[in-house]
Chains A and B, each alone.
Chain A
Amino acid sequence: MAISVKVMERPDPESTSYLRAALSGMALTFKHLMNPIKVTQQYPEEQTELHPRWRGTHVMETHADGRPKCVACGLCPTVCPANCIRLVGGEDDQGNRFPLVYEIDEFRCIFCGMCQEVCPVEAIHVGQHFENAEYTRDRFVYDLDRLMEQDHPSTHLWDPSDPASE
C-alpha cells in the first residue's frame, strides 16, 4: 500500500492577521488569573503537606531518660540494601546492650524504610522530612546524637493497631 501524505494548505502570510490568535491566548491567561483554584505553591513560605507514609530523614527514638532505644542488634546494617548504616555494639553502665557507634550516611541511603521495618525495638525510623541540604558532604553522615536530636515526626509505615494490614 502506498503511503499517502496529506499536504496542509497554509494561509498566505501576507494576507493573514494574527490578532485573533493573540487575543484568544490573552483570554486564556486572564481566565487563569481569575481562577480561584491555585496550584502554584509559595515554597518555602508555604510548606508541602507530606504523605503519611513519606520516607525521609531518619529519627532515632529515645527512652524517657534520653537513652536511645537502639539495642545494637545489627539487623538494620544487615538488611540495608545501600549499606549505609555503620554500627558498633557495646554495653552501657547498666549492662544493657547499646550502640557505641551508630551512623547513617543519608547520601547513600535510598530511603526504602527497611531499617524501620526490621527494627525489633522500634528505635530507628524514617521521618516526615526532606530538607537536609548541607554545605559539606561529611555533614550527611548522621551520628547517633544527631539522629536523636531530629525533631520532625517519624513516619508510621503501618497502622500500630493492625500491623499486618488485616
Chain B
Amino acid sequence: MPEMVTLTIDGTEVKVPKGTTILEAAKQVGKVIPHYCYHPGMSSPAMCRMCLVDVEGAPKPQASCVTTVMENQVVDTESSASVANRRGVLEFYLVNHPLDCPICDMSGECDLQDFVHAEGRDHGRSVEPKRVFGRDDFGGDVLFYGDRCVMCTRCVRFMSEVEQDERLTVVERGNRSVIDTFFEKGLDGTEWHGNIVDICPVGALVSKEFLHKTRAWDLDHTPSICASCSQGCNIELHTAENLVQRVKPRENLEVNAWWMCDYGRHDYEWINHGQRIEAPLVRDATGSSRTTGWKDALTSLLEGASGLNGTSVQIVVSARGSNEDLAALTKLQDVMGGGDKVFRVSQADEESALPGFPTLARRKDLGPNVGGAELLGISRVGESDGTGGLEAVKDHDGIIIVLGDNLEDQDETFGANAGLYVYLGTHECAATKAAHLVLPVTTFAEQEGTFTNHEGRIQRFWPALQPPGMARPAWLILGAVLAELSEGVAPRSAAEAFMNLAEAVPALRGLTYEGMGLSGSVSETAQHASLD
C-alpha cells in the first residue's frame, strides 16, 4: 500500500498516493486542468505552460503536470492568477496559430479550439504577420501542417520514448522552431506512428486516410474491440452514414494503454464492404434457390436436419466470431450429434511489440477471438495464410455448418456431397454455391458480444452500425434453432447468450456483462492457464 497524501483542490479534499502529480490528482475530483504537452503515457517536459495553477504558499504558479502533491497542500485551479495565466498563454499560441478551423481536420475535437472557446480572448490583439510553414508529408499515414503546431512535442516524445525509434525532432529555435523528420527518412516503416495523430492536441498532425473525409462532430463513437489480431486492443469505432470512418484507440491500461498499431487502425474497410447477403437463401433439391424470410429458412433448416439424425456435424468457424456465436454453434453441434470443430486464421510472420509498452504487440494470430475458439474446443487447421485444412469437411456427407469463414480458397464443389450444408456468413462466394441454406449474419461491428484475447481476457464490444437487410447475429439464429431442437428457451439478448455460455464453460464461470464493463475481465481459470 503506497503512502497516501491528502490535499485540497478547488475546495475538495482528495487522497492520492504519494508521488502523484497535481494534474492527475485533479482528475480524481473531476477537474481537468488544461494542458498540451502532458500525456500520462510519456514524460512531462512542462513546456506548454497551460497547466500552471496556484498553490498556496508557492511564490509563483506551479506546473501541475510535474509538481507532485504534498500533505495539506491547497491548490486553486480557478484562481484569478491561474485563469489569467491560461488566458495569456492562449493568446501567445494564437499569435502564430492560423485560425483555419473551417478547413482543419481536427476542428471539433481540438484542445486549442476548446480551451480558447472556454477561456480565451474573443479578439486577438496581435498585428504581426503569422509565420508560415506550409504542409509537409511525414511519410506513412501522417501529414504535418506546421502552422498549426503548438510545439508540445508529444509526437517527438512518442517516437523516442514509446515507439523508441527516433524519427522526429525539433529543428530551429524559438519562434522558428518546427517539428521535422530526419532527412527524407520520414515515418515510413514504423508500425505505431498512427498514435502521434491521436495525441496531437491540435490539427498539426493529421491522418492522410481521414483527410477531409468527415467532420469530427458528425462521427458517432462506439466502444469496441479491434478485430485485427488476438491482442484485443480497446478501440472506438467512429461511424457516420452507417460506415466506419476511422478507428481510434480507447484507454485500457491492462491491454493497450492509449495506443494501437497502424495495422489494426487501417484494417476496417472489410466492415464497410458492400454486396452483403441481405436475406436468407434456401436451395431445394432441384438446385434452384429462392430468397425467403427467417421463419421459412429456419423451418427448412430443421426439416433438413431431421432427416439426418445420427450423422456427424462438421463445423467451420472464423476467429472473428464472438464468443456467443461460437458457443451457440458448438452447443447446436452437440445437440445434433457432434463432430469435428475447426477454425482457420491467417498469421503474421512475427509479433511486433511496442517497445515502450511491451505487453502491447501486434500478435501473430490475425483474428480477435482465437482465444475464445480454443476455449470452446475448436481446433486450428490450415496454413498460416488462413487457407487449406478443410479437405475432411469438403466432401463430408453429413451436416456441414460454416460460420463466418469466407472460404475464399474453396471452389464450387465444397459441401457438394453434404446431406445438409448451412452457410452463415456476410458474403456469397464460389464455395456457397452448393449450400442448402445461406443465412446472413452480422459482423462484430453490427452486434453486441465479446472476444477472448490472447491472455484470456474477455472484452465486450457494442453495435456501431445498422445490419444490412435481414442479417442477424449468429447467436440469435443458432439460439432459435437450438431452442427448437432441445425444447429450451432461445436467448433474447447477447447478455443472455453470454450467461448460457458462462454456465457451460468452467473457465468463464462467474463472468457477466455488467462485471466486464468497458475494460473486460480475465477469468481466474484462464489466468492460471496462462501462468502454467
Contacts and interface: CB of A to CB of B under 8 A. Distances in A.
A and B physically associate: yes
Interface of A: 71-75, 78, 89-91, 95-97, 120-121
A55 to B, nearest CB: 23
A95 B136 CA distance: 12
A97 B215 contact: no
B209 to A, nearest CB: 13
B218 A74 contact: yes
A97 B135 contact: no
B103 interface: yes
Contacts of A96: 103
Contacts, number: 27
A95 B206 CA distance: 14
A41 B218 CA distance: 48
Interface in B120-163: 135
11 contacts: A73-B107, A74-B218, A75-B102, A78-B215, A78-B217, A89-B212, A91-B211, A95-B135, A96-B103, A120-B101, A120-B102
Contact of B212 (A75, A78, A97, A121): A97
**Interface-central residue, B103, B213, B218, by most chain A CB under 10 Å:** B103
Contacts of A73: 101-103, 107, 215
A89 B211 CA distance: 9
A104 B107 CA distance: 24
A91 B215 contact: no
Contacts of B217: 78
Contact of B215 (A74, A90, A120): A74
Nearest to A73: B102
Given A89-B213, A90-B212, A71 B103 contact: yes
Interface of B: 101-103, 107, 135, 211-213, 215, 217-218
A91 B102 CA distance: 14
Contacts of A78: 215, 217-218
Contacts of B215: 73-74, 78
Nearest to B99: A120
Contact of A72 (B101, B135, B212, B218): B212
A121 B102 CA distance: 9
A127 to B, nearest CB: 22
A103 to B, nearest CB: 15
Nearest to B215: A74
B357 to A, nearest CB: 35
Given A73-B101, A90-B212, A95-B135, 10 more contacts: A71-B102, A73-B102, A73-B103, A74-B215, A74-B218, A75-B102, A89-B212, A91-B211, A120-B101, A121-B102
A91 B103 CA distance: 10
Candidate in A89, A95, A96 with the most chain B CB atoms within 10 angstroms: A89
B136 to A, nearest CB: 12
Contacts of A71: 102-103
A89 B107 CA distance: 14
Contacts of B213: 89
A72 B211 CA distance: 12
A121 B101 CA distance: 12
Contacts of B107: 73
Nearest to B134: A95
Contacts of A74: 215, 218
A72 B103 CA distance: 7
B215 to A, nearest CB: 4
B135 A91 contact: no
Contacts of B212: 72, 89-91, 97
Contacts of A89: 212-213
A14 to B, nearest CB: 80
A109 B215 CA distance: 22
B98 to A, nearest CB: 13
Contacts of A90: 212
Contacts of A121: 102
A107 to B, nearest CB: 22
B97 to A, nearest CB: 16
Nearest to B135: A95
A97 B103 contact: yes
Contacts of B102: 71, 73, 75, 120-121
Nearest to A120: B102
A48 B458 CA distance: 71
A90 B103 CA distance: 10
A72 B218 CA distance: 14
A120 B218 CA distance: 18
A125 B102 CA distance: 17
A40 to B, nearest CB: 48
Q: Kindly list the 3 A-B residue pairs having the minimum CB-CB distance in the complex, ordered from nearest.
A: A73-B102, A74-B215, A89-B212
B404 to A, nearest CB: 33
A140 B218 CA distance: 26
A147 B482 CA distance: 59
Contacts of B101: 73, 120
Nearest to A70: B102
A137 B242 CA distance: 27
A71 to B, nearest CB: 5
A97 to B, nearest CB: 4
A86 to B, nearest CB: 11
Nearest to A90: B212
Contacts of B218: 74, 78
Nearest to B213: A89
